[in-house]
Amino acid sequence: MTQTNPFIAALAQRGLQAVVVALIVGIVSFAMMQALPGDAAYRIAAGRYGYDMMDAASAELVRQELGLDRPFWAQLLQWLGALATFDLGQSAVYGTPVIDEIATQLGYSLLLAAGAVVVSVLIAVPMGIAAGLRPGGLVDRVSLGISILLRAIPAFALGVVLVLIFAVQLKLFPVAGFRGPQHLILPSLTLGLGLAAVSNRVVRDAVVEAMDAEWRLFARTKGLSARLTLVRHVLRNASLPVVTYVGVQMAYLIEGVVIVETVFAWPGIGHALVHAIFGRDIAMVQGTALALGLIYVALNLVIDLACRAIDPRTRAT
């Protein structure tokens, strides 16, 4: 009896999950947009022409153009049918393909998420390892205090403080928008410090657990030096929960950075989703929510494959 390739099995599992996520996200986001109060045609017309130029006639034209006068189930079936052909439709407000808007905005959000994770890893990994090697020591206590302080500060408040210090007073970095790598520093630092406050404790706990394991004592007993035991065994086993948590961080960052994107006027997908909801741009909301859901599935697949590569026991299973 042939055994299924683990990579193919994981890919098939996540592919099925992606189909289910697409259906659920599309239906739920459409239902939520339909449940919002007010007339969607008026909102869309106001987004297109401005509130000063919008009237009942322009709203009626938008209603007929987009088929908003049809039953909601007919509109949903049309969207699902287009989705089967990988067509997300066009933005009701801007008139551009939704997939093009998402590609642009998602690129900025991914860039910001990657920058924040890099900041978090650079801070959390060495601090967590140092704290885990001597639990209860000075480094452990100081890092715990810093972590509690950073977690107690809301992200938007930390962002404002960093702007006041590094942009307004010291004039080292720009404040808003994105026109070059220097614009990435402050928002990445804002998010990365908050993530490092938690992830350094994850690294610390993983190192403490690995240092207390019987296999580490066996490695030392058979003659391996402390440095080789740390590099070959402790850090590799401690990396499993860290890799998993970094994946969770990426998902959280891509889906939950709306406030930070607003503070720094960052042209990301979270900020765009808020504007699409206010503008009642149903196609844009559905497409954006779908992209976020599929990214979460893709991150889970990457985490699964990374854990299989790190731990031989998962490959054997």
Predicted confidence (pLDDT) at residue 40 exceeds the cutoff of 80: yes
Q: Which domains, ranges and CATH numbers included, belong to the chain?
A: 1-93+279-317 (no CATH), 110-270 (1.10.3720.10)
More confident site: 306 or 202: 202
- Across 166-174, average pLDDT: 87
pLDDT band for 231, please (50, 70, 90 cuts). Answer: low
The answer to whether 98 and 90 are in contact (CB under 8 A) is yes
Q: pLDDT at position 127, please?
A: 92
Cβ neighbours for 100, distance < 8 A, ≥ 6 positions apart: none
First to last CA, the chain: 16
What is the gyration radius of the CA atoms in the chain, in angstroms? 24
Predicted confidence (pLDDT) at residue 203 exceeds the cutoff of 90: no
More confident site: 314 or 102: 102
Q: pLDDT at position 159, please?
A: 87
Q: Identify any residues that bridge with 97 across adjacent strands, giving them in sequence order.
A: 90
Burial 210-234 (b: 16+ CB within 10 A, else e): bbeeeebeebeeeebeeeebbeebb
- Across 244-269, average pLDDT: 75
- Across 179-190, average pLDDT: 88
CA distance 174 to 281: 32
Of 23-37, 140-154, 298-312, the least confident:
298-312
Q: What percent of the chain has pLDDT over 90?
A: 5
Q: What is the pLDDT of residues 100-153, one digit of tens each?
A: 888 888 888 888 888 888 898 899 889 988 888 888 889 999 999 999 998 888
Predicted confidence (pLDDT) at residue 312 exceeds the cutoff of 70: no
Q: Look up residue 90 and give its DSSP letter.
A: B
The answer to whether 288 and 295 are in contact (CB under 8 A) is no
Of 1-10, 60-69, 272-281, the least confident:
1-10
Smallest CA-to-CA distance from 270 within 283, 289, 245, 249 is with 289
Q: What percent of the chain has pLDDT over 70?
A: 86
Q: What SS3 string covers 194-241?
A: HHHHHHHHHHHHHHHHHHCCHHHHHHHHCCCCHHHHHHHHHHHHHHHH
Cβ neighbours for 272, distance < 8 A, ≥ 6 positions apart: 101, 105, 284, 288
Number of neighbours of residue 95 by Cβ within 10 angstroms: 8
Tokens of 317: 């299973």
pLDDT averaged over the chain?
81
The answer to whether 269 and 284 are in contact (CB under 8 A) is no
Q: What is the pLDDT of residues 134-147, one digit of tens each?
A: 888 899 999 999 99
Q: pLDDT at position 262, please?
A: 78
pLDDT band for 3, please (50, 70, 90 cuts). Answer: low
Number of neighbours of residue 251 by Cβ within 10 angstroms: 18
Q: pLDDT at position 94, please?
A: 81
